[in-house]
């Protein structure tokens, strides 16, 4: 289970595009130009840092976007560990990702799409020159492909993920099954249980399993987690959900074995011998337990734990399991924030982690004998990893003005973090962006709420500017000083708008009670927080033109736009993307049922009045505001029927409306040219109704 939501997620939601944003005079911006979609597509998208065991290098994957070709391709890069010029590690034209050094630093494994399906490859590494030595060799040849590979600490084995048919006992069976499906003229499926579709795909009746193979590819490829369960479970990204013990003898992994997966968040931690055998469950929480990590001394395992079942936005705490005693304790119990990316200190006496807090994701250190962590750096950090001598903590950092770069923190000196890579500096130096400016206000019940403003380029305080009011998804998500290649506030501001964002009840980074303030209150407390936040901004910032405001949102933000339609006509226009329009029908067409059952107090037949109380569809007679509806056919989190239902209603009511429909996108718009169309359509719609000249 990842910290950010699956069901109604907005942060990192849709690949944006912004043509026709206008060009500033060189005299006004010092030669810099406003940020554009084309510039954003030039930026490289850096993955997690992977330090070499000798401490000299850091390798990482970086994704390039080809707008004209409508493609994204990942390549391997390397940079000196102390910082400097980054360069390609491998000149191969193939798409490659997930580099991992062998424990001795002499080899690198990675996933390569040179074949279809992708496989695990290996190459020797010359640390003196910081380059690959010799030709890369294919390690796995399994018919179902390989990904997610890690080394065992003894260097004797590679563990990787492959999706296989659970009733097949060998690869020949899997290969035969695949071939039969390809040749069959019947494409029908028989569903016998939930989940029969998930995220953007219908089930293919496979399960992800963990396999082990030797680095030479010799001998049999063994399935360590056979059975009709996913190992690891579905994930939208983030840290690996499995790890090998320091002695190389044991595998810890995450799996959900509950009978009805669509209604369960009960991921569990299991142990199994690398030689094979019966797994042992060691976690006990009814909520999600995931992402196990062995301490360097092998005495403990830490993982992310949630206390309550059926609630994917319960607080993520740090559980520590003593292997000899078999005892579990929640090390971060007194820390009222969600633990994110984490890694053990080399002495096994403390853990470094990041956690959302008031629009940032600072780095903390928690000693095992302490109750509260120490904050080491206040920024927006992720992908934490420690180098082999335990002196430097490497991580990815972004802000609202810059996408991920790799940074490092000298934890031995408690010094300020420094930048290791500068891959996107040259591009960003040519554009003008405004900083994120936070503000605070008190809601009607006295609770402190945080919001943010982003001003347009060449801002003039004497002028009045129209507003784009952005509403985040989740609902358990948050705006903050972080970068998105999708809903990017700098792009929204770039053509002459003030962007206003508010983190209402339900948002993360303000304590668990604040986060839970959205439960059974979808159109209640969060709606009032949002409206009061916008009103506060109008009164506080004289440059805001409150007569020219548009509201935009997706997922839960899309739901809130649909709700706004029946509650107020204060906005000149609205944009709703992948939102909930009819809460009752949305229940029957989504896939992760634990979400609506938690948020609305059960299924509709047990609490129908709650669903109806917060259903935008039941206020349709009040709809007046011009609305752009956006939805993707492959969105199984919120079915496309929600968008069709809303658009049909608007059209029959005579409300000015249009619908942008993507037959090849899901909950997020990911294809570059689709993103370009998305942003142009959204921008044109808002410009039309706010009369931006």
Give the other-Cβ count within 10 Å of 366's Cβ.
Answer: 24
DSSP secondary structure string for all residues of 612-647 = HHT-GGGGGGG--S-EEEEEETT--SS-HHHHHHHH
Q: How far lies 619's CA from each of 473, 567, 588, 612, 616, in Å?
A: 21, 8, 21, 10, 6
Phi, psi of 636 (to 5 degrees): -100, -5
Q: What CATH number is associated with residue 294?
A: 2.120.10.60
Cβ pair 203, 191 in contact under 8 A: yes
The set of residues, in sequence order, having a beta carbon less than 8 Å from that of 345 and lying 6+ positions away, is 351, 352, 365, 386, 390, 411
CA–CA gap between residue 261 and residue 193 (Å, rounded): 9
Specify if 3 maps to a domain. no
Handedness of CA 68, 70, 76, 78 (dihedral sign): positive
Mark whether 306 and 383 lie in a shared domain.
yes
Half-sphere exposure of 233 (CA within 13 A, CB side): 24
Q: What CATH number is associated with residue 617?
A: 3.40.50.1820
**Strand arrangement of the beta sheet that strand 289-294 belongs to:** 289-294, 300-305, 317-322, 327-330
Specify if 7 maps to a domain. no
Mark whether 270 and 288 lie in a shared domain.
yes
Mean pLDDT of all residues in the chain? 94
Q: Residue 26: what pLDDT? A: 37
Mark whether 141 and 285 lie in a shared domain.
yes
CA–CA gap between residue 62 and residue 75 (Å, rounded): 5
Mark whether 397 and 539 lie in a shared domain.
no
Give the other-Cβ count within 10 Å of 665's Cβ.
Answer: 23
Mark whether 454 and 410 lie in a shared domain.
no
Q: What torsion, rounded to 10 degrees, do the Cα atoms 662, 663, 666, 672 define?
A: -60
- Using alpha carbons, select from 254, 213, 46, 183 the residue that is nearest to residue 122: 213
Q: Residue 22: what pLDDT? A: 32
Q: Three-state SS across 387-409? A: CCCCCEEEEEEEECCEEEEEEEE
**Strand arrangement of the beta sheet that strand 544-554 belongs to:** 437-442, 448-454, 498-503, 465-471, 544-554, 573-577, 627-632, 657-662
- Using alpha carbons, select from 318, 349, 350, 347 the residue that is nearest to residue 335: 318
Percent of the chain's residues with pLDDT above 70: 95
Phi, psi of 497 (to 5 degrees): -115, 150
Whether the pLDDT of residue 9 is over 80: the answer is: no
Q: Which residue has the tokens 């094979």?
A: 276
The pair of three-digit structure tokens given for residue 556, joined into one six-digit string: 């839960």
Specify if 621 maps to a domain. yes
**Averaged pLDDT, 273-280:** 97
The beta-strand segments (E) located in 231-335 are: 242-244, 250-255, 268-273, 280-281, 289-294, 300-305, 317-322, 327-330
pLDDT in tens, 574-623: 999 999 999 999 999 999 999 999 999 999 999 999 999 999 999 999 99
Specify if 19 maps to a domain. no
CA–CA gap between residue 366 and residue 356 (Å, rounded): 15
Lowest mean pLDDT among 12-26, 346-360, 411-425, 493-507: 12-26
Domain range for 574: 428-690
**Averaged pLDDT, 376-392:** 97
Domain final residue pick, 427, 460, 491: 427
Q: Residue 291: what pLDDT? A: 98
pLDDT in tens, 233-270: 998 878 999 999 999 999 999 999 998 999 999 999 99
End-to-end Cα spacing for the chain: 46
Whether the pLDDT of residue 4 is over 80: the answer is: no
pLDDT in tens, 451-483: 999 999 999 999 999 999 999 999 999 999 999
Q: Residue 472: what pLDDT? A: 98
Mark whether 574 and 492 lie in a shared domain.
yes
Lowest mean pLDDT among 12-16, 77-81, 167-171, 422-426: 12-16
pLDDT in tens, 629-686: 999 999 999 999 999 999 999 999 999 999 999 999 999 999 999 999 999 999 999 9
DSSP state of 8: B
Cβ pair 231, 208 in contact under 8 A: yes
Whether the pLDDT of residue 30 is over 70: the answer is: no
Whether the pLDDT of residue 304 is over 90: the answer is: yes
Find the largest Cα–Cα distance for the chain. Answer: 74
- Domain total in the chain: 2
Whether the pLDDT of residue 5 is over 60: the answer is: no
CA–CA gap between residue 206 and residue 197 (Å, rounded): 12
Specify if 26 maps to a domain. no
Q: Residue 20: what pLDDT? A: 34
Q: Residue 24: what pLDDT? A: 36
Q: How far lies 243's CA from each of 146, 151, 217, 254, 270, in Å?
A: 17, 9, 20, 10, 11
Q: Residue 18: what pLDDT? A: 34
21: confidence class by pLDDT, cuts 50, 70, 90 = very low
Q: Which residue has the tokens 């090998």?
A: 244
- Using alpha carbons, select from 639, 602, 598 the residue that is nearest to residue 475: 598
Mark whether 441 and 509 lie in a shared domain.
yes
Specify if 24 maps to a domain. no
DSSP state of 476: S
198: confidence class by pLDDT, cuts 50, 70, 90 = very high
Q: Residue 453: what pLDDT? A: 98
Q: What torsion, rounded to 10 degrees, do the Cα atoms 572, 574, 575, 580 define?
A: 180
Mark whether 258 and 358 lie in a shared domain.
yes
Domain final residue pick, 398, 427, 456: 427
Cβ pair 619, 566 in contact under 8 A: yes
Mark whether 465 and 384 lie in a shared domain.
no
pLDDT in tens, 97-133: 999 999 999 999 999 999 999 999 999 999 999 999 9
Specify if 420 maps to a domain. yes
Mark whether 363 and 491 lie in a shared domain.
no
Specify if 4 maps to a domain. no
Mark whether 240 and 322 lie in a shared domain.
yes
Domain final residue pick, 383, 398, 427: 427
DSSP secondary structure string for all residues of 34-72 = E--HHHHHHS-EE---EE-TTSSEEEEEEEEEETTTTEE
Q: Which residue has the tokens 């962006």?
A: 433
Q: Residue 486: what pLDDT? A: 86
Q: Residue 217: what pLDDT? A: 82
The pair of three-digit structure tokens given for residue 197, joined into one six-digit string: 């579709």
**Averaged pLDDT, 518-532:** 98
Mark whether 557 and 623 lie in a shared domain.
yes
**Averaged pLDDT, 76-104:** 97
């Amino acid at each position: 289970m990842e910290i950010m939501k699956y069901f109604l997620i907005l942060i990192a939601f849709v690949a944006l595009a912004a043509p026709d944003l206008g060009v500033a005079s060189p005299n006004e911006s010092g030669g810099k130009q406003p940020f554009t979609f084309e510039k954003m597509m030039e930026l490289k998208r850096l993955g997690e840092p992977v330090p070499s065991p000798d401490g000299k290098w850091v390798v990482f994957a970086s994704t390039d976007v080809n707008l004209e070709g409508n493609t994204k391709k990942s390549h391997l890069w390397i940079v000196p560990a102390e910082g400097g010029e980054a360069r390609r590690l491998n000149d191969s034209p193939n798409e490659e990702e997930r580099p991992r050094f062998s424990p001795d630093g002499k080899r690198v494994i990675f996933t390569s799409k040179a074949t279809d399906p992708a496989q695990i490859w290996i190459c020797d590494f010359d640390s003196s020159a910081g380059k690959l030595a010799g030709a890369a060799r294919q390690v796995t040849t399994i018919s179902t492909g390989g990904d997610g590979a890690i080394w065992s600490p003894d260097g004797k084995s590679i563990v990787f993920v492959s999706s296989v048919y659970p009733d097949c006992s060998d690869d020949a069976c899997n290969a035969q099954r695949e071939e039969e499906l390809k040749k069959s003229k019947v494409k029908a499926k028989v569903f016998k249980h939930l989940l029969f579709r998930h995220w953007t795909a219908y089930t293919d009746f496979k399960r992800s399993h963990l396999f082990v193979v030797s680095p030479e590819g010799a001998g049999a490829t063994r399935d360590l987690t056979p059975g009709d369960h996913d190992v690891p479970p579905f994930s939208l990204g983030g840290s690996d959900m499995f790890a090998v013990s320091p002695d190389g003898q044991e595998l810890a992994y995450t799996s959900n074995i509950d009978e009805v997966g669509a209604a369960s968040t009960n991921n569990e931690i299991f142990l199994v011998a690398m030689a094979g055998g019966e797994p042992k469950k060691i976690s006990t929480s009814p909520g999600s337990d995931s992402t196990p990590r062995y301490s360097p001394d092998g005495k403990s395992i830490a993982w992310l734990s949630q206390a309550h079942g059926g609630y994917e936005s319960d607080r993520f705490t740090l559980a520590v399991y003593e292997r000899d005693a078999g005892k579990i304790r929640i090390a971060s119990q007194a820390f009222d924030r969600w633990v994110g990316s984490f890694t053990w200190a080399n002495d096994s006496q403390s853990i470094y982690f990041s956690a959302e807090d008031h629009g940032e994701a600072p780095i903390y250190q928690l000693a095992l004998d302490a109750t509260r962590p120490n904050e080491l750096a206040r920024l927006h950090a992720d992908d934490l990893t420690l180098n082999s001598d335990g002196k430097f903590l490497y991580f990815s950092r972004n802000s609202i003005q810059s996408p991920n770069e790799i940074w490092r923190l000298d934890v031995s000196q408690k010094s300020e973090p420094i930048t290791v890579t500068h891959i996107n500096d040259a591009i960003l130096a040519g554009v003008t962006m405004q900083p994120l400016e936070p503000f605070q206000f008190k809601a009607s019940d006295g609770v402190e709420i945080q919001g943010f403003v982003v001003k347009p380029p060449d801002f003039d305080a004497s002028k009045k500017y129209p507003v784009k009011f952005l509403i985040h998804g989740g609902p358990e998500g948050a705006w903050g000083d972080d970068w998105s290649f999708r809903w990017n506030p700098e792009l929204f501001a770039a053509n002459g708008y003030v962007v206003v964002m508010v983190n209402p009840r339900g948002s993360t980074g303000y304590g668990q009670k604040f986060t839970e303030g959205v439960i059974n209150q979808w159109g209640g407390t969060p709606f009032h927080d949002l409206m009061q936040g916008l009103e506060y901004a109008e009164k506080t910032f004289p440059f805001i033109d409150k007569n020219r405001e548009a509201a935009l949102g997706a997922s839960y933000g899309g739901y809130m736009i649909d709700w706004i339609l029946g509650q107020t006509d204060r906005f000149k226009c609205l944009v709703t993307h992948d939102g909930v329009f009819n809460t009752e029908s949305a229940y029957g067409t989504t896939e992760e049922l634990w979400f609506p059952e938690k948020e609305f107090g059960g299924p509709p037949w047990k609490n129908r009045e709650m669903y109806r109380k917060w259903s935008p569809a039941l206020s349709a007679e009040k709809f007046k505001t011009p609305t752009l509806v956006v939805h993707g056919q492959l969105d199984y989190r919120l079915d496309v029927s929600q968008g069709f239902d809303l658009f049909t209603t608007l059209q029959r009511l005579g409300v000015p409306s249009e619908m942008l429909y993507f037959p090849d996108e899901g909950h997020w718009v990911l294809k570059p040219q689709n993103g370009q169309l998305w942003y142009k359509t959204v921008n044109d719609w808002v410009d039309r109704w706010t009369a931006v000249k």
